[in-house]
Amino acid sequence: MLTVHHLGKSQSERIVWLCEELGIPYELKRYDRAPVMAPAEYKALHPIGSAPVITDGDLVLAESGAVVEYIIAIYGDGRLALAKDHPDFAAYLYWFHFANGTLQPALMRVLISGRLNPPADHPAVLTGRQRMALCLGMMDSRLGEASWLAGQDFTAADIMNVFCLTTMRRYLPYDLSPYPNIRAYLARIGARPAYRRAMDKGDPGMELLLA
């Protein structure tokens, strides 16, 4: 049985959501933070000790992108990924990897520099904010061209990126009002029944930051 080990208010929500979108059977194990980081029980699952983690028989697998690709390949029959002959294949690859390769590191850079409390005009602060604005601006432009990040089809690229636009704002509050296309996109996300089910199961009662 595929088991999703979900750490509350973390990027492992991606995996719960993926399973709900695919409609596949899985067991969900929830872990509360202790009080901010993962509890010892969660850290013991994998040497890295961070979310997400899945187990599938003897397999223990971490890393969001790897977990998403594994589930799509093994349980999803390729659904929510685009085949190499699809006209939006390259866009799918780009936005799938953009989440953890570009957007999330940019947000983390701003988060960490802010906690170090440097002067507002410190180069690290300025370049971090510029990078974050560049990422969000590019995403907003893309979502002005297409309904979903890869194109006209909802894909795992959307599942990978939404955490950075929603739950991560609990740790790094930022304003989405300059990005109307992102806000419209999040409204579409919030209308997806699988997203609502996933969030209700993974983080029941948590306010969803969809605006």
Mean pLDDT, rounded, of the chain: 93
Residue 125 scores a pLDDT above 80:
no
pLDDT of the residue at 128? 66
Residue 118 scores a pLDDT above 70:
no
DSSP per-residue codes, 63-112: -HHHHHHHHHHHTSTTTTS--TTSTTHHHHHHHHHHIIIIIHHHHHHHHH
| pLDDT tens column, 177-186 | 999 999 999 9
Strand order in the sheet with 53-56: 27-31, 2-7, 53-56, 59-62
Name all domains of the chain by residue range, CATH numbers in brackets. 2-80+196-202 (3.40.30.10), 89-192 (1.20.1050.10)
Q: For the whole model, what pTM was predicted?
A: 0.93
pLDDT of the residue at 194? 98
95 — pLDDT class (breaks 50, 70, 90):
very high
Which carries the bigger pLDDT value, residue 53 or residue 125?
A: 53
